[in-house]
Structure 1
Amino acid sequence: MRSGTEEPFHSVDVSSLTRGPLDETLRMSLRSPDGVRLEARYDPCTAGPADTAVVVAHGFTGSVDRPALRRAAAVLARHAAVVTFSFRGHGRSGGRSTVGDREVLDLAAAVTWAREHGHARVVTVGFSMGGSVVLRHAALYGEGHEGRTDAVAAVSAPARWYYRGTAPMRRVHWLITRPTGRVVGRYGFGTRIHDRDWDPVPLSPVEAVPLIAPTPLLVVHGDRDPYFPVDHPRALAAASGGHAELWLEPGMGHAENATGEDLLTRIARWLTAPEGPGPSPAPQAWPIMEA
């Protein structure tokens, strides 16, 4: 089956908390349409009531309470309300990780919750695996869908599936595909990984990108990323046909652990600009593709 035939998922069933704007930090439970319970947290904007909410998708083996995610949420909350959650199989969420496939349901649940609780504008930012999820989500949930995003930023995202070109990614594949690796994932990283292969293979990030327009898209990547080299973000940007904005960050490593306060602030400003996302200066200009 061709991954390009993937269709949007059904509407989500979120928590039954009273709808309306929120002004305090809230721990909550969401539920995906396939019945997985997700732990989540809502943090209001520290600058005052905000129309925009940023939904944050963490990387593989992350969770809502990991220090790197909490640090990112704190910076983003200076500019907007923030919804963070643990993907299935991570933290105290239920289910098992499908490493980027069914996780799009988890993200849609969080986005829908933010819309139903008073935020007129909801945007997404994802790191690594979460970056691949926000790209697929933006492609699958288009205009008119309650789970849609108004802008999307993918940080340290892969362009294609099954990449094994670096030593860290070979270790990740061992963790995912081998029984011993999944035991290490459960007890060493607190991540419960599904033991079944994808069937069908989901839309890859680079296949998803052309379907995202006209939703604004930002691709952020470090030039010292040990997992995915810079051909990944360049491929994503090229697939957008000029629609995506690409920031290649000098000296940056991988995902939320390597995303500093200055970069998080620039991402937040890009996502929450009153006139909508637009060009924002990066430390250094880079070509999208090699000459």
Structure 2
Amino acid sequence: MSVRRSAAVARTRTGRSRTPQGPGTGEGPSSGTAVRVASTVLAAGAGLAALVSIASSGLAVYFARRIVVPENSPEDLEILHVSGFDDDLTVQLPATEDTMLPGTYGLMFAGGNGHARIGEVVEYDPASRTVARRVESVTSGDLHRARWGKWTGSVFTHPAQTGVPYEDVVLRSDVGDLPAWFLPTRAAAPADTWAILVHGRGATRTETLRAARVLDTLGVPALAMSYRNDPEVRTSAAARYGLGDTEWIDVDLAIDHALAHGARRVVLFGWSMGGAIVFQAASRGRNRERIAGLVLDGPVVDWYDVLDNQARLNYLPTPIARLTLQMISQPWARPFTGLETPLDLDRLDWVTRASELDRPVLLIHSDDDEFVPSGPSHSLARVRSDLVTMPHYDTAAHTKEWNVDPERWEDDVANYLEAKLRVRAPAPSAG
């Protein structure tokens, strides 16, 4: 189903209809009874239609709020068993599409206070539909006592775990303080190009730490930022995501910080909704002339397509899906969604705006991404092959290409930065 365009308004004609007459009776009692029965049926039908309309509107409000209201995803993955001790742990989990994938992942537990780094599959039991995976490390909490967890692509919860240097910094925004990590490179001669790392919807800046090591190797300083309405920043239930239409303002602040501390230009990294955010920063920001390029991982290139996909996954009828889109993009729905300003979904559609792209882009997007389908990314890469480099990826779930094959992901990023932006890895120091 497509929810991109509004449905045509159906018009109905009203007219007089004859009341059937009984044979030879004219306008007798049987005719009056028929009229009363018909009136009762019409009234019941009108009432049912009103109920259906109310239910449809309520469902549209529910899904519209799910799109823009920040929420923390639940720890709904059952931790069946943990065996072993210290550096030789194995965790048994239900076998799902995510837990069966190759690679290294994070497992959050204990209400987000616990975290373990989960490695390769050790054993799969098709009878019980369970999988055992190696635990590479427990970075916080007691995994033995955990009963429920959350599967994530964030394998690092703090830059100290990456082995690269870091500093805590704060960006001053109109919505308050935005915590960030500055990742200075260990290179003797840092590049004058900085990386600004922008996480996705519902995630935090920990998501972006997967890029830390390759940037350090290349001598590229980085700033892993938070932004308005994300889990680290929001302070009230009134917070609403702008899907990139508002958050880009904070990227400009991060660029200000980089320029004030030695950067001459920046490359913007964006994961998922972070991709939509950096597209806006690159096209609307006051620092756009200092943006040398974009690195996008599982990006939202076109929100219409993403919301179409979510409507299909949730079996949402087309009229309700269209009403949902209207609610997040029209002023009349602000009391229902809580949005201060309606979202401009056309402005967030970079397939339609492809001709406006004016920066080289590395676009990493798995064809097995079911949450944000890769179709719009392929469309953008196809029509702007002069600027967009899109290597083929599959297998990985949403924004987890690094998790499946970190060496390849880092090679693709390094090759792009070296070839397109002329960033060169520093020569090894003598001795």
Would you call these one fold, judging by a TM-score over 0.5? yes
Cα distance in 2 for residues equivalent to 1:53 and 1:31: 19
Cα distance in 2 for residues equivalent to 1:227 and 1:63: 18
**TM alignment of 1:136-147, pairs within 5 A:** 136-141=280-285, 145=287
| Paired residues of 2:165 and 2:185 also in contact (CA < 8 A) | no
| Paired residues of 1:237 and 1:244 also in contact (CA < 8 A) | yes
**Cα 1:115/1:271, change in 2 over 3 Å:** farther
Per-residue deviation, residues 111-133 of structure 1 (Å, max 9, x unmatched): 22111110123111101000111
Partner of 1:182: none
The offset of 1:83, in angstroms, is 0.5
Structure 1 residue 201 corresponds to structure 2 residue 344: yes
Alignment partner of 2:362: what SS?
strand
Match for 2:167: what amino acid? Answer: L
Per-residue deviation, residues 2-41 of structure 1 (Å, max 9, x unmatched): xxxxxxxxxxxxxxxxxxxxx9622111123x44431111
Q: 2:291 aligns with which of 144, 149, 158?
A: 149
**TM alignment of 1:116-127, pairs within 5 A:** 116-127=260-271
* Structure with higher RCO (Cα < 8 A, 6+ apart): 1
Match for 1:43: what amino acid? Answer: L
| Paired residues of 1:36 and 1:94 also in contact (CA < 8 A) | no
The more displaced of 100-109 and 239-248 is 239-248
Per-residue deviation, residues 154-200 of structure 1 (Å, max 9, x unmatched): 211123224334459857x9xxx99xxxxxxxxxxxxxxx8317525
Partner of 1:161: 303
Structure 1 residue 41 corresponds to structure 2 residue 181: yes
Which residues of structure 1 form unaligned runs of 5+?
A: 1-22, 179-193, 279-291
CA RMSD across the alignment? 3.2
Structure 1 residue 29 corresponds to structure 2 residue 177: no
Match for 1:59: what amino acid? Answer: G
Match for 2:369: what amino acid? Answer: D
| Paired residues of 1:218 and 1:245 also in contact (CA < 8 A) | yes
Per-residue deviation, residues 136-169 of structure 1 (Å, max 9, x unmatched): 2222247xx4774111112111232243344598
TM-score (norm 1): 0.68
Per-residue deviation, residues 57-109 of structure 1 (Å, max 9, x unmatched): 11111112x3x432332333322111101121223224633232111111111
Which residues of structure 2 form unaligned runs of 5+?
A: 1-163, 317-322, 325-336, 424-431
Alignment partner of 1:88: what SS?
coil
Partner of 1:100: 244
Larger Cα Rg: Structure 1 or Structure 2? 2
The offset of 1:230, in angstroms, is 2.7
Select the structure that is richer in strand.
Answer: 2
Cα distance in 1 for residues equivalent to 2:165 and 2:180: 14
**Cα 1:71/1:161, change in 2 over 3 Å:** closer
**TM alignment of 1:55-204, pairs within 5 A:** 55-64=196-205, 66=206, 68-79=207-218, 80-94=220-234, 96=239, 97-141=241-285, 145=287, 148-162=290-304, 163-166=306-309, 195-196=338-339, 198-202=341-345, 203-204=347-348
Among the aligned pairs, what percent are the same residue?
A: 22
Match for 1:91: what amino acid? Answer: P
TM-score (norm 2): 0.47
The more displaced of 254-263 and 162-171 is 162-171
Structure 1 residue 273 corresponds to structure 2 residue 418: yes
| Paired residues of 1:216 and 1:277 also in contact (CA < 8 A) | no
Partner of 1:231: 375
| Paired residues of 1:62 and 1:86 also in contact (CA < 8 A) | no
The more displaced of 153-162 and 108-117 is 153-162
Q: 1:250 aligns with which of 394, 397, 411?
A: 394
